[in-house]
Amino acid sequence: MDLRPTDALLVIDMQRDFLPPLDGIRGALEVRGGDAVIPGINSLAAKFDHVILTQDWHPRGHISFASTHGKQPFADTIEAPYGTQHLWPDHCVQGTAGAEIHPALNIPHAELLLRKGFRQHIDSYSAFTENDGVTPTGLAGYLRERGLTRLFFTGVAYDYCVGFSALAAARLGFEAIVVEDLTRGIATPSIDSTNQAFAGAKVQRIMSSDVA
Active site residues: 13, 116, 161
8 A C-beta contact, residue 78 and residue 71: yes
Q: How far apart are CA 194 and CA 109, in angstroms?
A: 30
Using CB atoms within 10 A of its CB, is residue 100 exposed (0-12), middle (13-18) or buried (19+)? middle
Q: How far apart are CA 10 and CA 194, in angstroms?
A: 18
Report residue 102 CA to chain centroid gap: 14
DSSP state, residue 166: H
| Residue 193 CB neighbours (<10 A) | 13
- Per DSSP, the three-state class of 68 is helix
